[in-house]
Amino acid sequence: MKHILLVDNDVLFTKTITSLLQKEHLDVSVAKDGKEAAIALAAGDFDLVITDLFMPYSNGFELVNTIRQNKFTYIPIMVVSNVTKVQSIANCFRLGADIYLQKPLSFPLLLSEIKNLMLNQRNVAA
């Protein structure tokens, strides 16, 4: 079963996404901020990280940067946020995010992008 790390400080969002992804036979772990996510990443093995941008303590930009600085593994990163500022979105990609999805989110789109990213990861690994 594929393991996803979902990083967002909003319980309503994480709960819903977790339930929806679990229905699709995906295993989801939740972290409230970048700091918690970094700890989870060090401890576990994840196939994808889905993160928000604005969270307390350590934000999404820092998290993307941290993941990309650790060159030992390649984890696809999906940023999901309500940020519309082009510079912020460009900054995500510059730091190493693979895809940016805008809230409000369409779940079928999210799911198809998750599948795409995982497929790409498998191709990269191969």
Partner 1 sequence: MWLHKEFLISILFGSWSFSWDSFPVFIKICFIISMLALFGIVIAMVDIAVQRFSRKRLEKKTALLSVRINELLTSAVMMEEPAMQKKISFVKSDFTIDSLYDSGIPDKEVNKILVTEMIRYRNYFSGQIAERIRKLYLDLSLHKEAINRLHKKNWETKAAALSELFKMDIEVDPTDLLQLVDDKNRYIREFARLSLIKFTKADPLQFLRDLSEPISQWEEFEIFQLFQQKKDFTLSSLEGLIALDKEPSIVSLCLKLAVHFKQEAALSLIINLIKTPNLKLRGEAIACLGKLEAKDTEKELVAIYPEQPHVIKLEILTALGRMQSRRCLDFLEKEFISSSDFEIKKYASDAIIKLYPLSKSTIDKLMLNAGILNQKILNHSLNPLINAS
Residues that bind partner 1 (CB under 8 A): 10-13, 15-16, 19-20, 23, 82, 103-109
Smallest distance from partner 1 to CB 82, Å = 7
Q: Which is nearer to partner 1, 73 or 84 (CB)?
A: 84
The residues with which 84 forms a beta bridge, in sequence order, are none
Q: Which is nearer to partner 1, 72 or 104 (CB)?
A: 104
Tokens 């939740």 locate to 30
Beta pairing, strands 3-7 & 48-51: parallel
Nearest-angstrom CA–CA distance, 51 and 5: 8
- On whether the CB atoms of residues 78 and 99 are closer than 8 A, the answer is yes
Smallest distance from partner 1 to CB 13, Å = 5
Smallest distance from partner 1 to CB 11, Å = 7
Nearest-angstrom CA–CA distance, 13 and 50: 12
Q: Which is nearer to partner 1, 15 or 94 (CB)?
A: 15
